[in-house]
């Protein structure tokens, strides 16, 4: 089924010049880029984005990190993209992220792991709304 997901190049990925490489991988897979913006995330947006981790011991550092420098936020569309994009991204732990995945190829710590992708339909909707808004007009597949 056709889905939308929220993909974000985290501050470490932006600093390391990985935006183009990551766009290329999703483009080559056949997914459609619907919206993108280089932005600095404020604390309330970051805390809302990571609300499922609010009771974790690393929550404060996670929010510090994601607000520390610009991120590259994107909305992508494609068949089963939520599950497929997570396969492309790879596991959080650098010991588990396989070569060929984005994290397997580029990340070496679990705290700074280059990229975020939504893990469910519900979180994709919430994350897209948090970063791009509900009312703001978004490009649709019909525009291509």
Query: Could you give phi then psi for residue 67, rounded to 5 degrees?
Result: -95, 0
Q: State yes or no: residue 108 binds ligand CMP (CB under 6 A).
A: no
Q: State yes or no: residue 44 binds ligand CMP (CB under 6 A).
A: no
| Burial profile 28-47: b = 16 or more Cβ within 10 angstroms, e = fewer | eeebbebbbeeeebeeebbb
Given 116, 118, 124, 128, the residue binding ligand CMP (CB under 6 A): 116
Instruction: Consult the annotation and say whether 92 binds a ligand.
Output: yes
Nearer to ligand CMP, 15 or 53 (CB): 53
Instruction: Consult the annotation and say whether 126 binds a ligand.
Output: no
Element (H, E) at 104: helix 102-106
* The token pair that represents 115 in the structure block: 């990229």
Q: State yes or no: residue 111 binds ligand CMP (CB under 6 A).
A: yes
| Shortest Å distance, C-beta 53 to ligand CMP | 6
Q: State yes or no: residue 62 binds ligand CMP (CB under 6 A).
A: yes
DSSP state of 100: T
- Strands (E) located in the chain: 2-9, 32-39, 71-79, 115-117
Which residues within the stretch 65-94 sit at the binding site for ligand CMP (CB under 6 A)? 92
DSSP state of 136: S
Nearer to ligand CMP, 25 or 138 (CB): 25
Given 86, 110, 126, 138, the residue binding ligand CMP (CB under 6 A): 110
Q: Residue 95 in contact with residue 109, Cβ under 8 Å?
A: no
- Known binding-site residues for ATP equal 10, 58, 86, 92, 103, 113
Which residues of the shown chain bind ligand CMP in the complex (CB under 6 A)? 53, 58, 62, 92, 110-111, 113, 116
């Amino acid at each position: 089924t056709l889905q939308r997901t929220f993909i974000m190049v985290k501050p470490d990925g932006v600093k390391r010049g990985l935006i183009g490489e990551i766009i290329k991988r999703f483009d080559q897979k056949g997914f459609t880029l619907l919206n993108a913006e280089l932005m600095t995330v404020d604390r309330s947006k970051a805390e809302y984005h990571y609300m499922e981790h609010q009771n974790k011991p690393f929550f404060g550092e996670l929010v510090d990190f994601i607000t520390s420098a610009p991120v590259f936020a994107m909305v992508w569309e494609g068949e089963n993209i939520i599950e497929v994009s997570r396969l492309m991204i790879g596991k959080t732990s650098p010991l588990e992220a396989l070569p060929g995945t984005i994290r397997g190829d580029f990340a070496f710590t679990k705290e700074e792991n280059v990229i975020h992708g939504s893990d469910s339909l519900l979180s994709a909707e919430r994350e897209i709304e948090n970063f791009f808004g509900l009312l703001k007009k978004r490009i649709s597949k019909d525009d291509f």
